[in-house]
Amino acid sequence: MKVGIIGASFARAAYLPAFRHVPGAEVVAIASSHLASARSAADAFGVAAAYDDWRAMLAAHKLDLVCIATPTDTHAEMALAALDAGAHVLCEKPMAMDAAEAQKMLARAEQLGRLHMIDHELRFNPNRKRARELIANGDLGEIRHVNIANVGASWNNPASRAKGDWWSMAEQGGGRLGANGSHQVDLLRFWLGEVQTVSGLLRTMVPNRKDKTTGEPWVATADDLSAMTLQMRNGAIAQVFMSGVAAHNIGNLTQVFGSKGTIILSNEDEKLLFAKGGQSFEEVTVTDPNAALEGLNPGIWNVSVVGALRELAAAAAEGRPLREGATFRDGLYNQLVLDAATQSSRTGRTIELTAGAVR
């Protein structure tokens, strides 16, 4: 499998170390808007070709798989071009700028018969999979409500980011809702099924910023704080709160409350705790064997990518659909929820998602 990657930063952190542990896969080219970044990543991992033009990369190579790790506003154009060039596609989250773009990506992939995956790698994390099993097996009983809090300090200091940093620009698809909310929505759907209603609140708490190097003032337009209340179609209520403007990094805490039991999972220590009603919590953590692989960067994101890439490579080699992981169809469902949260924040109304909206 000949692989091309667009976007050098996450490639260097996660994709390139992981591909060393994916049988039959060879990264042959990397493209970045900055040629120096592409060459640096390519040299570090023995990749032959580096480009500052992703179109030139697609034209120069017959690629079996293209991985896209670039700002959100570029995803649709790159994915459509890669699909047309004959490649399967792995795209970073959030899938697109809106559901209309996501729908085009899904339709083209299915029309051409290509494999398509969104990099919601936590579907391959053993603790998240174990949580899903506990829920599906009825160990928690009827799921009543879920609380998810993701609180950090990366946006708190007005001088913490470079001018025009795309994660801070709404017009480029930045913001906490897309960056973290897309993962939370996908996990909720992975565990509980589809979303029925969405109430959202998005705010830019620290719009006035200074370049971290030059001190030049600039204005952030994307949300650095966002919250959602989701009613799932199974009746559960999920509350998701995400902030990048706290004074301290608290991390990510997930609590799932059922009629018979409770799950608690914190990424601070990655311990999965479970208790039945009236009993004390017990640790039911599952160790990820991929964490011991040589050369991987630490952290659940970088480790879980291995499972996602292995499944994608195996499906391609065997000529079969994906058995695990989030597809473009999942990405579209997730995007509908994110779009509804944005609409709700703008209008002050709860948005109902139409059943069967995705075809």
Please report which confidence band the pLDDT of residue 354 belongs to, taking 50, 70 and 90 as the band edges. confident
Instruction: Go through the domains of the chain in sequence order and give each one's CATH number.
Output: 2-119+305-324 (3.40.50.720), 123-289+332-352 (3.30.360.10)
pLDDT tens, position by position, 179-203: 999 999 999 999 999 999 999 999 9
Q: Alpha-carbon dihedral of residues 112, 338, 186, 81, nearest 10 degrees?
A: 20
Mean pLDDT of 207-236: 97
Q: Which helix (H) or strand (E) holds 243?
A: strand 237-243
Q: What's the chain's Rg over C-alpha atoms?
A: 20
Q: Enter the pTM of the model.
A: 0.96
Maximum separation of any 2 CA atoms in the chain, in Å: 63
Please report which confidence band the pLDDT of residue 63 belongs to, taking 50, 70 and 90 as the band edges. very high
The pLDDT of residue 268 is above 90: no
DSSP designation for 15: I
Q: Which residues of 108-133 are buried (b: 16+ CB within 10 A; e: fewer)?
A: bbeeeebbbbbbbbbbbbbbbbbbee
- Percent residues over pLDDT 70 in the chain: 99
The two structure tokens encoding residue 57? 């990369």
Q: What's the mean pLDDT when you consider all of the chain?
A: 97
The pLDDT of residue 356 is above 80: no
- Check residue 358 and give its pLDDT: 53
pLDDT tens, position by position, 129-168: 999 999 999 999 999 999 999 999 999 999 999 999 999 9
Give the least confident one: 99-103, 160-164, 288-292, 354-358.
Answer: 354-358
The pLDDT of residue 248 is above 80: yes
- Check residue 357 and give its pLDDT: 58
Count the Cβ atoms, other than its own, within 10 Å of residue 323. 9
Q: Which helix (H) or strand (E) holds 203?
A: strand 195-203
The pLDDT of residue 33 is above 90: yes
